[in-house]
């Protein structure tokens, strides 16, 4: 496996979640609606979405706890 593909693993995982948990579940008729949905999802992903790999914490709570 090339180093470049390993470097992108985290962001590829995030985009996969973004598409399946947000974009594919909605129909956007205007660009602004899509932008707002993406902004809301990014906030949800970082502050509210529980992740098993992070001891059942959101990314922000996990980083706060280990700091």
Q: Distance (Å, rounded) from C-alpha 46 to C-alpha 49?
A: 7
Could you read off the pLDDT of 7-65 as tens digits, one per residue?
A: 788 899 999 999 999 999 999 999 999 999 999 999 999 999 999 999 999 999 999 99
Structural domains counted in the chain: 1
Token pair belonging to 67: 């700091």
Token pair belonging to 30: 């205007």
Average pLDDT of the segment spanning 2-10: 71
The whole-angstrom distance between residue 49's C-alpha and the CA centroid of its chain comes to 8
Domain of residue 32 covers: 3-66
pTM: 0.82
Confidence at residue 1, expressed as pLDDT on a 0 to 100 scale: 52
The string of DSSP letters for 23-35 reads GGG---SSHHHHH
Q: Confidence class of residue 67 from pLDDT cuts 50, 70 and 90? A: confident
């Amino acid at each position: 496996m090339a180093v470049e593909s390993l470097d992108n693993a985290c962001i590829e995982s995030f985009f996969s979640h973004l598409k399946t948990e947000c974009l594919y579940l909605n129909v956007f008729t205007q660009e602004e609606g899509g932008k707002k949905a993406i902004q809301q999802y990014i906030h949800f992903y970082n502050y509210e979405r529980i992740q098993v790999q992070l001891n059942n914490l959101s990314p922000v709570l996990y980083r706060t706890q280990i700091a």
